[in-house]
Chains A and B, each alone.
Chain A
Amino acid sequence: MSATTTFALLANSTALPWAEVPEWPVAEFVEATAVELGRGARLCAWFGVPEGSSVRLVAVLAFDADNTLAVGRSTPVEPEGSMPFVVSNCYPSLTARHAQAHLFEREVWEQHGLVPQGHPWLKPVRKTGPGPAPANGEFFRVGGREVHEVAVGPVHAGIIEPGHFRFQCAGEEVLHLEIALGYQHRGVEAALAGGPHRMTMSQMETVAGDTTIGHATAYASVLEALSGTEAPLRAQWLRAVALELERLANHTGDLGALANDVAFLPTASACGKTRGDFLNLTALICGNRFGRGLVRPGGCRHDLEPARAAQLLERLQPALAEVEQAAMWLWESASVRSRFENTGTVFPTQAAEIGLVGPAARASGLVRDVRYDHPAGWHRFAQAPVAVWPGGDVLARARVRWLEVQRSGQFLREQLAAPPEGGIHEALATPAPDMFAVALVEGWRGEVCHAALTDASGRFRRYKITDPSFHNWNGMTLALRGQAISDFPLCNKSFNLSYCGFDL
C-alpha cells in the first residue's frame, strides 16, 4: 500500500526536487526497499548516483495497483577500496531477498564498485574484459559425467544481435542456461553525463532501434517533466499513435518468426510482409520506418494531417485483416499448438519474483501494463484493456501478442477518428536544477524506464535507462529449464529481447 510508504511518491512522467527524496543509511534503505517489494511493489530501477568519492543508491518503485511510483535513496556509501584505510562493507544485498534486484545490483557493482554483500551471483554485466570482448566471468557449471556444456554465440546463425548463451545439458535436456551479454555495449549512459548534448536525441532513438518511439517518448517525457513543459495534446496523441504502430509491427513480426521457428510457413510469410506494411505506416508519418525524427522534447516534429491520417487508416485496415488471417492459421494448426503448448513455461510466481514486464509478464497471468497502471501523456485520456493470458508458455506469449495486435488496431481506429486539434510542438524550457524525474512507457517489449537527475546548472548529473529486456532476460533462462535444447530458438523468439537495449 503506497499510502503508508515512507518513499516519496510521484506520478509517471513527473519530477520532484532531489532534496525531497527521502534518504536512509544504506542498510536501512535496503530494508525499506525490501519491505515495499515484499508488499507488492515492483523494482523499476536501482542505480547509483556518484557523490564525491562515494555513491548513493536510488530505488524507483512502482505501486501498480495504486497507480503511483515511489523513489528513495541511501546516504552516500563508500565503494570498496575507494580510500586507503577506510573499510567499507558496502551494503547488504537486496537480491538475496528479492530476485528482481539481481542484475541491478550486479550493474551497480560494475559501475560504482559497491559490493552487495550476500549477492548469490556477483559478476560483470557488460564491461569490457582484458581482451576485446566482455568480461563474462566464470559460468555456472553443473557437474557429473553425463552433463555436457553447449556454448552459443556471440555471433548467432540468423540476422540478429550478438550475445552468448551457455547451456548445461543432460542429453537433450537443459538443466541450466546462463546468458552473458555486453557485446553491444556502446557507452550510452556515460555519453549522457552533462547532457543533453547535440547527439542525445538520436542516441535515444537508437538505444534499442526497434523501440525508437518507446525510448524517444520516455526521454522526451523526462525532459518535459524536468523543465515543466507540457507537450501539446496533439503531439501526445501522435506519440500514442506511433507507439501502437511500433507495437503492431513488432508483434506481427514476432508472430511470423514464431511460426517460422516451427516451420509453419504460411503465417511466417504473411506476417513477414505485413510487418513491413506497419513499418511503412510509421514512415508515412515521419519518413523513417522506425519512427526516427518524430518524437522531440516538447512535442513532435511531423504532423499527421487529416489527409495523411485518412491514408494511414485506409492502409491500416487491410494490414490488420492480413495479420488476423495469418494468426487464425496459426491457432488452427494442431502441429503449431503442439509445439507452442507447455514449451518454455514461466510460472506466475516466478514471473512476479523476477519482476517480468510487458507481454512476457502478461503471458504469465500478471496484470501489468504501464499504459493502464501509470497512464501519462495521451494514455491519461485513452486506454486499451490489458491483454493477459495464463499459462506462461510459448503459446501464451504468442496469444498475448495476438490480443495486443487486435487491441492496438482498435485503439488506432478510435484515435484516428478523433484527433485533438492544435499545434504539435512547444518550446522546451530549460531543465530545472537538482530535480529528479522518472518516465515509464509501455514499449512493445514492456516497461521502458528513464530516470534523470539534474545538477546545479540543470544538466544531466545521472541518467539511467532500463530497457524491458533488462528485467526479462532472466525469464528466458527460467523458461529453458527442463526444456529440450532444440526448443531454444522457439523460446528465445517468444521473448524476443533486446541485446543493445540491455547492453546500452
Chain B
Amino acid sequence: MSIPNIITNRLKRGCETMAYPRGKAPALPDRHGGALRVEADKCADNCDACVPVCPTQAITRTAGAPVALDLGRCIFCAECVAVCPTQAITQTGDHRLAVRRREDLLLGGPGQEQVRLAAALDGKLRKLFGRSLRLRQVSAGGCNACEADVNVLGTIGWDLSRFGIQFVASPRHADGLLITGPVTKNMELALKKTWAAVPEPKIVIAVGACAIAGGPFIGNPEHLGGASSVVPVDLFIPGCPPHPLTILDGLLRLLDRLEEGRVPPAG
C-alpha cells in the first residue's frame, strides 16, 4: 500500500519549492524585525539607554560622538529598539543583511544608517562559481542553530541545489568554506587544515554572530573571536542565527544571482 500512497501524495502536493528569488520572498515572522537601522542624528544628547541593555556590547556611544551599532556583534534581540526614546534605532523588517567587508556592518556614522549590502564576486571568481559553488561547512563552536538553518536550505522548500550550490563531504571537493561558531581554540587546527585542503581559488563565508565576532561568547578566552581570526572572509551573514532567507540572500548576492530591481522586495 505504501508506494502508491506515497506517489499519490507526492502528486497532490505538487512542487513545494518557494518561488523566490523569481517571485516574492517569504515574509519574515512579524516579531523577527529584520535588519536594524540607526539614525544617529535622532539620538538625544547624553542618552545612552541602548548601551547597557545590549547583551553583546554591540552598541557604544562615547561622549560627543554618535551612537555606533556593530551588526556583526548583534544577536537581534531588539532590546535597544525597545528602550530607545527617540526611535533612533529601528527594525526595518528587511531580511537582507550580508556584507562583503566587516566594516560594512558598522552603523551610526554619517551615511551609514544601514548595512552596505554585499557586492558580487569579481570577474574570474564569479565566472568560476556563479553557476556552481561547492561548499564545505565547518562548525567551529557553533551551537547547532546556524548549522540547522544552513541545513534547512537543502530541504524541498528552499532547494538550494537549484542555484548550483551544494554542500560537499570533503574540502578537496569544495570551492570554499562556510564557517559557523566563534572558532574555539580546540577547533583552530582542524579549521586551518580544512582550509588548507580546499583547492585555490577559494572563498570563505562566515555565518552568524559567533563566526563574525564571537556572538554571545564575545570575550571568552576559549575561542578566537570569529572566522577572520584564522582565514580571510569573503562574506559575513549576521544573525543569531540568521534566518534561512538571510543566508540564501547572502549566497545569491555573492554569486550575482539576484538582480536588484527585478526581484520584488520581501513582505
Residue in A185, A272, A279 whose CB lies within 8 Å of B186:
A185
List the A side residues contacting B52 at CB < 8 Å: 198
Q: Digit string of B64-81 for contact with A (CB within 8 Å is 1, else 0)?
A: 000000000001111000
Contacts of B136-177 to chain A: CB distance below 8 A: 136-152, 154-157, 167, 169-171
A182 interface residue, CB < 8 Å from B? Answer: yes
Q: Digit string of B205-231 for contact with A (CB within 8 Å is 1, else 0)?
A: 000001000011111111100000000
The stretch that binds B, out of A91-99, A281-289, A354-362, is: A281-289
The stretch that binds A, out of B95-103, B113-121, B187-195, is: B187-195
The number of residue pairs between A and B whose CB atoms lie closer than 8 Å in the complex comes to 193
List the A side residues contacting B146 at CB < 8 Å: 209
A293 interface residue, CB < 8 Å from B? Answer: yes
The stretch that binds A, out of B1-9, B37-45, B249-257, is: B1-9
Contacts of A180-198 to chain B: CB distance below 8 A: 182-188, 190-191, 198
List the A side residues contacting B192 at CB < 8 Å: 132
A-B contact pairs, 18 of them (CB 8 A): A128-B185, A131-B189, A160-B147, A184-B139, A186-B184, A188-B217, A191-B220, A201-B55, A205-B216, A206-B216, A253-B148, A269-B155, A279-B152, A285-B31, A293-B77, A332-B1, A500-B141, A503-B186
Q: In the complex, A435→B42 CA distance in Å?
A: 46
List the A side residues contacting B141 at CB < 8 Å: 183-186, 500
Nearest-neighbour CB distance to chain A for B178, whole angstroms, equals 8
Name B residues whose Cβ lies closer than 8 Å to a Cβ of A: 1-2, 5-6, 9-10, 16, 29-33, 52, 54-57, 75-78, 136-152, 154-157, 167, 169-171, 181-182, 184-190, 192, 194, 210, 215-223, 240-241, 243-244
Q: In the complex, A160→B139 CA distance in Å?
A: 7
Q: In the complex, A177→B75 CA distance in Å?
A: 38
Given contacts A159-B137, A191-B217, A329-B2, contact A132 B223 (CB under 8 A): no
**B139 nearest CB neighbor, chain A only:** A161
Q: In the complex, A302→B171 CA distance in Å?
A: 42
The answer to whether A133 and B188 have CB atoms under 8 Å apart is: yes
List the B side residues contacting A207 at CB < 8 Å: 143
A178 interface residue, CB < 8 Å from B? Answer: no
Q: In the complex, A186→B182 CA distance in Å?
A: 8
A4 interface residue, CB < 8 Å from B? Answer: no
The answer to whether B143 and A206 have CB atoms under 8 Å apart is: yes
Given contacts A184-B181, A199-B55, A273-B16, contact A159 B167 (CB under 8 A): yes
Nearest-neighbour CB distance to chain A for B51, whole angstroms, equals 11
The answer to whether A272 and B156 have CB atoms under 8 Å apart is: yes
Q: In the complex, A161→B190 CA distance in Å?
A: 12
Given contacts A133-B188, A208-B143, A209-B146, contact A287 B33 (CB under 8 A): yes
Nearest-neighbour CB distance to chain A for B82, whole angstroms, equals 9
Nearest-neighbour CB distance to chain B for A334, whole angstroms, equals 9
Residue in A266, A275, A285, A499 whose CB lies within 8 Å of B10:
A266
Q: In the complex, A207→B145 CA distance in Å?
A: 11
Name A residues whose Cβ lies closer than 8 Å to a Cβ of B: 126, 128, 131-134, 154-155, 157-162, 182-188, 190-191, 198-199, 201-203, 205-210, 212, 253, 266, 269, 272-273, 275-276, 279-280, 283-290, 292-293, 302, 325, 329, 332-333, 498-500, 503
List the A side residues contacting B188 at CB < 8 Å: 132-133
List the B side residues contacting A292 at CB < 8 Å: 75, 77, 240
**A250 nearest CB neighbor, chain B only:** B148
Given contacts A187-B220, A206-B143, A209-B145, contact A133 B155 (CB under 8 A): no
Q: In the complex, A503→B30 CA distance in Å?
A: 34
Q: In the complex, A185→B183 CA distance in Å?
A: 10
Beyond A206-B210, A269-B155, A285-B31, 6 additional pairs, beta carbon < 8 A: A182-B186, A191-B220, A275-B155, A288-B32, A288-B240, A503-B186
The answer to whether A128 and B186 have CB atoms under 8 Å apart is: yes
The answer to whether A159 and B147 have CB atoms under 8 Å apart is: yes
Q: In the complex, A371→B141 CA distance in Å?
A: 30
Residue in B30, B189, B218, B219 whose CB lies within 8 Å of A133:
B189
Residue in A155, A201, A302 whose CB lies within 8 Å of B31:
A302
List the B side residues contacting A500 at CB < 8 Å: 141-144
